[in-house]
Structure 1
Amino acid sequence: MADKMSSLRLAKKELRKSVRQTISSLSEESIKSQSRVVTSMILSLPEYQKAGSLGVYLSMPRGEISTGAIVKDALQLGKRVFVPYIYGKAVPREPEAPRSMMDMVSLHSLEDYETLAPDSWGIPTPSEPSLGGRNSCLNGAGYNDCDGKTKEEGNIELIIMPGMAFDKALGRLGHGKGYYDIFLRQFHEKSAPDGSRHHLPFLIGLALQEQMLPNDQRVPMDPTDWPVDALAVGDGSLVRR
């Protein structure tokens, strides 16, 4: 079993390296063009249109599909928008958990989003002092829940996820930190103690066409990895269950 897991980790590492090299050579215009295509697809999806509350990653300056237009559209439509926040080791966690973990916290408004400062990766990120006034999906720091305190608020219904590589079977390879896989497991345990996947948000991955594996290849995955429910690709294709 140990040899199998070691081989799997190596396969993931090699695939990340290969895809990273490929997308590093992409032009800024190619990424912008693919981002426009994907944004148009997402805004037309019924799951997005009917969602009153969603989580969405905030994109890096380059190397992945930009989500800026999606976030702005959602806020302008009055949707409740949650974005990733990485907590350090001061947050309670399981003994074997990583040194840092992800939660998703609420944005207040379009102005709030546009004034977020970039982190060391260039990703717009809520500041630590602002967290006390934001709702939190996991409630790990004692803030309000993203699954709502009243029936009118509703549950988070949709999560838009990044990734390093994807396949046509909806497999997803993350960047190697396990943030989304651990977050989804914790969110699932919190919102569905009976183990039913019915309670999970609809998961959508966004991919540059260069992040898609050939039809006959699959992302190396283990039981802790979460596949997505749909995949919007920069070439205009949509893969879904």
Structure 2
Amino acid sequence: MCKKSDIRMSIKDLKKNITAEERTRFSEQIRCRIEQLPEFKQAKTILLYHSLPDEVDTSSFLRLWKEDKRLLLPAVKGDNLIIRNYHPEKLKTGRYGIIESQGDRITDLSVIDMIIIPGVAFDKKRNRLGRGKGYYDRLLSQVETCKIGICYDCQITDFLPVEKHDIPMDYIITESGII
């Protein structure tokens, strides 16, 4: 069985081969696939994330969806993620260099219709491997909504080590398909 740390290193190396042009194109393909889902069309409130440079670029998601959807972003507070309304004019760089919203805090997580989640790797059973701090694991244990992991094809593996607290995704979307 592969160790999580080995998988993280391997995927990091694979992502280095993605050019800036491919990253833009792949991210747009992923956004278009999300927009075709019935769950997306029905969703009024979506929690997504402001991407880091090595992740699927969500800047167009935020720009295009803010007119028709209520968008939320996570912010790191202690060992947990808190959820805030997305306002493009109320952003700041938080812990780990992640851009976070300074909008109003959301305490009723039942308003979230869909969560779009980054990951270091995903497997074909829709399991997710994060960066290792457990922020999303703790958040996902508190919500029951459509969970979509997004990543590049090179981040899909046949198998990931899974622990009892890990919550699988409902969908994983890459530039070439939906799992």
1:85 matched residue in structure 2: 75
Spell out the pairing of 1:52-67 with structure 2 (5 A cutoff). 52-60=44-52, 62-67=53-58
The DSSP-based 3-state class of the residue aligned with 1:76 is coil
Match of 1:41 in 2: 33
Conservation of the 8 A alpha-carbon contact between 1:43 and 1:70: no
Structure 1 pair 114–33 and aligned structure 2 pair: CA distance change class (3 A): farther
Please report the TM-score for the alignment, with normalisation by the length of structure 1. Answer: 0.69
- What is the aligned-residue RMSD (CA, Å)? 1.8
Report the alpha carbon displacement of residue 184 of structure 1 after superposing the two structures with TM: 1.3
Contact 2:75 2:94 in 1 (8 A): no
Give the match for residue 227 of structure 1: 168
Figure out how many residues of one structure are paired with residues of the other and give that number.
Answer: 179
Instruction: Quote the offset at 1:72 in angstroms.
Output: 2.2
The answer to whether 1:105 aligns with 2:45 is no
Gaps in structure 2 of 5+ consecutive residues: none
- The one-letter amino acid of 1:63's match is D
Q: Which amino acid aligns with 1:135?
A: R
Does the alignment pair 1:18 with 2:13? Answer: no
2:143 counterpart of 1:206: no
Name the SS for the 1:105 alignment partner: strand
Q: Which amino acid aligns with 2:100?
A: T
Counterpart position of 1:191:
none
Contact 1:165 1:174 in 2 (8 A): yes
Whether 1:68 aligns to 2:59 is yes
Letter in 2 for 1:218: F
**Which AA in structure 2 matches 1:165?**
A
* Contact 1:135/1:146 (<8 A) preserved: no
State, as a whole percentage, how many aligned pairs show the same letter: 27
| Alpha-carbon distance between aligned partners in 1 of 2:137 and 2:26, rounded to the nearest angstrom | 26
| Distance change in 2, residues 1:120/1:180 (3 Å) | closer
Call closer, same or farther: CA 1:119–1:27 in 2, change over 3 Å. Answer: farther
Superposition TM-score, scaled by structure 2 size: 0.91
Residue identity opposite 2:161 in structure 1: P
2:84, 2:152 → 1: CA distance? 26
- 2:74 and 2:81 in contact (8 A); partners too: yes
CA contact (8 A) 1:166 1:212 kept: yes
Higher strand share: 2
Q: Is the 8 A contact 1:59 1:68 kept in 2?
A: yes
Instruction: Show CA shifts across 1:22-75 (max 9, x none).
Output: 112322112111101101111221111110111111101x21111122222221
Shift, 1:121, TM fit: 4.5
Q: Deviations over 1:168-225 (max 9, x none)?
A: 111111111111001111x24xxxxxxxxxxx11000101111111xxx211111111
SS, match of residue 133 in structure 2? coil
User: What corresponds to 1:218 in structure 2?
Assistant: 159
Q: Choose 1 or 2 for highest CA Rg.
A: 1
